[in-house]
Amino acid sequence: MSIKLISGPADGQTVAIDRAPFFLRIVQDSDGRIDALNELSDQIREDEVAHAYWCDEIIGRVHVCCRGGRGSGWRTIGTWRHLDEQPPQEVLRSNVAWAHWCDEQAAGREIAEVRSMLQKAHRERAVEATDHE
């Protein structure tokens, strides 16, 4: 049970997350491995580059029960889409700056409104791209 990543460097890949924030940092290390920084305590490593993704759709949550208790827990199923306009790496690399950036994006808005704005912008960019082909 996992989320699917759409577009960007992690296009088509999946990651398992317990916590499902609306804005999510996805990191890629120097070997090309992908990971999600979804927990509040997650830290970006020196050899990783971060990218911002946003929650396009949550399909649901499922509880996974593993023998011995290791790996058991709730998992989110959904899609997160690469954000067209990325925050600077200084913001993506700092948990404090990232939290502040996320708050600014949602300030005074309902999550549904933010999602609708991002989906509209994505559709418009897709139309522009096909118009230029």
Backbone angles phi, psi at 89, to 5 degrees: -60, -30
| Residue 20 or residue 122, greater confidence | 20
DSSP track, 41-77 = T----TT-EEEEEEEEEEEEEEEE--GGGTT-EEEEE
Distance of CA 48 to the CA centre of its chain: 15
As a whole number, mean pLDDT of residues 39-44 equals 90
CB half-sphere exposure, 131, CA atoms < 13 A: 6
How far from 35 is each of 11, 26, 43, 106, 117, CA to CA, in Å? 13, 6, 11, 24, 26
Lowest mean pLDDT among 59-63, 76-80, 91-95, 125-129: 125-129
User: What pLDDT score was predicted for residue 105?
Assistant: 86
pLDDT digits (tens, 9 = 90+) for 71-115: 777 777 789 999 989 999 999 999 999 999 999 887 767 777 777
User: What pLDDT score was predicted for residue 89?
Assistant: 94
Average pLDDT of the chain?
85
Structure tokens at 42: 């997650």
As a whole number, mean pLDDT of residues 23-50 equals 93
Q: What are the boundaries of each domain within the chain?
A: 3-131
What is the DSSP-derived secondary structure letter of residue 8?
Answer: G
